[in-house]
Amino acid sequence: MTAAWTLNGLKAQQGGNQVLDVASLAVSRGEVVGVVGPNGAGKTSLLRAGLGLLPRTDGDIWLGDRRLETLTVQARAARVGYLPQDRRLAWSLPAEQVASLGAVDLPEAEALAVARERLARVGAADLAGRGVLEMSGGERARVLLARLLSTRAPLLVADEPIAGLDPDAQLLTLDLLRKEAGSGAGVVVTLHDLSLAARCCDRLMVIEGGRIVSEGAPIQALSPEILAGVFKLDGALVETPAGLVLAARRL
Amino acid sequence: MSLQRLCLRMFCLLALAAVVAVLLGETSFVVGQYVEAVAHPGSPPGEVLWTIRAPRVAMAALVGAALGLAGATMQGLLRNPLADPGVLGVSAVSGLGAALAIAGGLAAVPGAIELSALAGALVAGGAVVAIVARLREPEALILLGVAVSAFGGALTALVFNLAPSPVAIAEVLAWLMGSVENRDWTDSFKVLVPMAIGAALCLKAGLGLRMLTLGEEAAAMSGLPMSRLRVYAVAGAALLTGAAVAGAGVIGFVGLAAPHMVRALVKDDPRQLLWPSALAGALLLVLADLAARLSPTEQELKLGVVTALFGAPVFALLAWRASRSWRA
């Protein structure tokens, strides 16, 4: 499989403190990689530093076959779409216009057509003309997901895309991201729900103190030892008809 | 309503207001005198209409348009509906430039006050442009603007403090209150060039302003050259503001209120807001100047006073009506 995103020896500081020290990370096209870890572990820092949004003190970043530094902003946008954790929007633009901001490489009419199709895909076609600040948080999250999908990028990076959503919207969001992976995109998501992460991701990376402490297939990455050591949970992932589910209690 | 149709309607409204503003004034004419003014521009009524009122109305429209456009640009850039052209401190430093020229005895030198005001705007704008490339967060920019503004205000107070005579103080104060009194066509042409450059820069930044709706990081990853567009927006707004201060002194509320008058008509889109805000600003200031001229006071009201007196309550009303959509 082709690597969509590769990080080597990535280190970053914030406020004089080392917040990230990642030896290596590679995301292939066609896979969904989940980044999990407790609050403050460095999940968002990993994404931000890996996309060049947080200044790094060391390390290489590759998007596909090109180093990040060699890419123009347009070329970078053609290789990666990013959904930040912060869903605050400044103005109440119509949803279709917000979604079309993912496709600024296209003429405005075409960008709007792409946006409408993506809104339909996320089940928000009926919201196309509504102002985003008049929507509920869940509806707005769908619009922003449509914006991410409108980028049509081979790597989609989403920071907490299901935070604050109802169960149906959570599953819909992860299903849609899986479909994008099925169409050949590499997908990276940070998640807090370990059961959903185990069920919906091909691989998981467990991060603690800015370092990746475990990675691999969900059942391996979230071993009972990691659950105990990193998440302070006594338990394990168990197979159920609905997929993997975390059965655990606090230590 | 499409943007073109909205702009056309607003332009017609502005043209109508401008005609009324040229026709009405302290000196009343009868129909025959209006006909004479049109037929013979050199006649006494013609002199009043074409060399006194018309250039004044043109200056009011230009300054209003510049402030409206600069305000819309600042609101989009800072993602803040309360931002105005003065938020980055450009107005304050530009006013300081004019105050220095007046207190320095240069008021009689043609163009000295205007050039000094513009130079002040360019210094403040240049400093902010240099910093804007490093500071991405709107909150940091606003705080920087507050500091620049406070410093400009303090230095202006110092000019008052050290002014050589009460006359100089009165002249500086009169300038700072804003007016388009006694402006001729040449004055309008002087400010037209920096305004045109500033407007072009702001309009160029339009798509970036729309993208900033998503926040700084999503915009940074959008594929648009955001650093460059941010510089265009700040430099454009600084030029517009500086040229407006050079043309008419410090005039508040227009840059803040004009975008809100048209915001709902463009569905809150920061890019589409630019042209209508310029037209709304022009309309506001032409009407404000007409109100200043027709006010039944012994002394003509200063334009900045009128805009503040009418603008503040109107803005409060607009803000109250729009507040529901400002929630995050």
The three-state secondary structure class of A181 is helix
Nearest chain A Cα to B80, which residue?
A90
Count of C-beta atoms within a 10 Å radius of residue A1: 11
Chain B residues lying within 8 Å of A127, measured CB to CB: none
pLDDT at B327: 52
> Cα distance from B269 to chain A (closest Cα, Å)?
6
Beta carbons of B91 and B85 less than 8 angstroms apart = yes
| Distance of alpha carbon B259 from alpha carbon B311, whole angstroms | 13
> Cα distance from B209 to chain A (closest Cα, Å)?
10
| Distance of alpha carbon A41 from alpha carbon B133, whole angstroms | 30
Mean per-residue pLDDT of chain A: 94
Mean per-residue pLDDT of chain B: 89
Picking from B207, B217, B224, the nearest residue to A53 by CB comes out as B217
> Given an 8 Å threshold on Cβ–Cβ distance, is A89 in contact with B214?
yes
Per the DSSP assignment, residues forming a β-bridge with A60 are: A8
Task: Tell me which amino acid residue B178 is.
Answer: G
**CA dist list (Å): B196 to A156, B64, B233:** 41, 13, 14
> Cα distance from A247 to chain B (closest Cα, Å)?
36
Percent of chain B having pLDDT more than 70?
Answer: 97
| Distance of alpha carbon B111 from alpha carbon B174, whole angstroms | 17
Q: Is the pLDDT of residue B73 over 50?
A: yes
Q: Is the pLDDT of residue A2 over 90?
A: no
> Cα distance from A91 to chain B (closest Cα, Å)?
6
Which residues, in sequence order, are CB contacts of A88 under 8 Å at separation 6+? B215, B328
Beta carbons of A149 and A118 less than 8 angstroms apart = yes
Give the residue extent of every domain in chain A: 3-80+153-168+176-250, 88-152
For the CA atoms of B66, B69, B74, B80, the dihedral, rounded to the nearest 10 degrees, stands at: 130
Percent of chain B having pLDDT more than 90?
Answer: 46
Structural domain total, chain B: 1
> Given an 8 Å threshold on Cβ–Cβ distance, is A76 in contact with B221?
yes
Show the CA angle centred on residue B294, arms to residues B289 and B300, nearest 5°: 75
Picking from A48, A88, A91, the nearest residue to B270 by CB comes out as A91
Which residues, in sequence order, are CB contacts of B64 under 8 Å at separation 6+? B254, B258, B281, B282, B283, B284, B285, B286, B288
Spatial strand order in the sheet of A155-159: A81-83, A155-159, A186-191, A32-36, A203-208, A211-216
B223-235 pLDDT tens trace = 999 889 988 999 9
Picking from A51, A86, A88, the nearest residue to B221 by CB comes out as A51
Q: What is the mean pLDDT of residues A121-137?
A: 93
Q: What is the mean pLDDT of residues B118-142?
A: 82
> Cα distance from A222 to chain B (closest Cα, Å)?
31
| Distance of alpha carbon B240 from alpha carbon B90, whole angstroms | 10
Count of C-beta atoms within a 10 Å radius of residue B319: 15
Picking from B207, B212, B213, the nearest residue to A98 by CB comes out as B213
Q: Which two tokens stand for residue A240?
A: 């159920």
Q: What is the helix, strand, coil percentage profile of chain A, to 5?
A: 35, 35, 30
**CA dist list (Å): B31 to B36, B40, B45:** 9, 14, 11
Chain A residues lying within 8 Å of B327, measured CB to CB: 133
Structural domain containing residue B101: 3-323
Q: Is the pLDDT of residue B328 over 50?
A: no
pLDDT at A41: 94
Domain assignment of residue B328, yes or no: no
Task: Give the residue among A49, A53, A51 at the shortest CA–CA distance from A20.
Answer: A49
Show the CA angle centred on residue A97, arms to residues A92 and A99, nearest 5°: 105
CATH of A3-80+153-168+176-250 given 3.40.50.300, 3.90.1150.10, 3.40.640.10, 3.60.40.10: 3.40.50.300
The three-state secondary structure class of A162 is coil
| Distance of alpha carbon A86 from alpha carbon A47, whole angstroms | 13
Give the confidence band of A161 by pLDDT, cuts at 50, 70, 90: very high
pLDDT at B107: 78
* 3-state SS record for chain B: CCHHHHHHHHHHHHHHHHHHHHHCCCCCCCHHHHHHHHHCCCCHHHHHHHHHHHHHHHHHHHHHHHHHHHHHHHHHHHCCCCCCCCCCCHHHHHHHHHHHHHHCCCCCCCCHHHHHHHHHHHHHHHHHHHHHCCCCCHHHHHHHHHHHHHHHHHHHHHHHHHCCCHHHHHHHHHHHCCCCCCCCHHHHHHHHHHHHHHHHHHHHCHHHHHHHHHCHHHHHCCCCCHHHHHHHHHHHHHHHHHHHHHHHCCCCCHHHHHHHHHHHHHCCCCCCCHHHHHHHHHHHHHHHHHHHHHCCCCCCCCHHHHHHHHHHHHHHHHHHHHHHHHCC
Percent of chain A having pLDDT more than 90?
Answer: 88
| Distance of alpha carbon B314 from alpha carbon B328, whole angstroms | 24
CATH number for B39: 1.10.3470.10
Show the CA angle centred on residue A179, arms to residues A174 and A182, nearest 5°: 130
pLDDT at B324: 60
- Angle separating helix axes B254-262 and B274-294, nearest 10 degrees: 120
Interfacial residues of B (vs A; Cβ cutoff 8 Å): 79-80, 207, 210-215, 217-218, 220-226, 267-270, 325-328
| Distance of alpha carbon A223 from alpha carbon A203, whole angstroms | 13
Give the confidence band of B326 by pLDDT, cuts at 50, 70, 90: low
Give the confidence band of A1 by pLDDT, cuts at 50, 70, 90: low
Q: Is the pLDDT of residue B138 over 70?
A: yes
> Given an 8 Å threshold on Cβ–Cβ distance, is B269 in contact with A92?
no
Residue of B80, B139, B268, B327 best to disrupt the A interface, most CBs of A under 10 A: B268
> Given an 8 Å threshold on Cβ–Cβ distance, is A48 in contact with B217?
yes
Q: Is the pLDDT of residue B325 over 60?
A: no
Beta carbons of A121 and A146 less than 8 angstroms apart = yes
Q: Is A40 left (phi over 0), alpha (psi -120 to 50) or beta?
A: left
| Distance of alpha carbon A93 from alpha carbon A101, whole angstroms | 11
pLDDT at A222: 96
| Distance of alpha carbon A143 from alpha carbon B264, whole angstroms | 21
The length of chain B is 328
Q: Among A230-239, B138-147, B161-170, B318-327, which is the least confidently predicted range?
A: B318-327
Q: Which position has the higher pLDDT, A1 or A46? A: A46
Cα dihedral sign, B122-B125-B128-B133:
negative
Task: Give the residue among A54, A48, A57, A65 at the shortest CA–CA distance from A6.
Answer: A65
B240-264 pLDDT tens trace = 999 999 899 889 889 998 999 999 8
A173-205 pLDDT tens trace = 999 999 999 999 999 999 999 999 999 999 999
pTM: 0.91
| Distance of alpha carbon B4 from alpha carbon A1, whole angstroms | 50
What would you measure as the largest C-alpha separation in chain A, in angstroms? Answer: 55
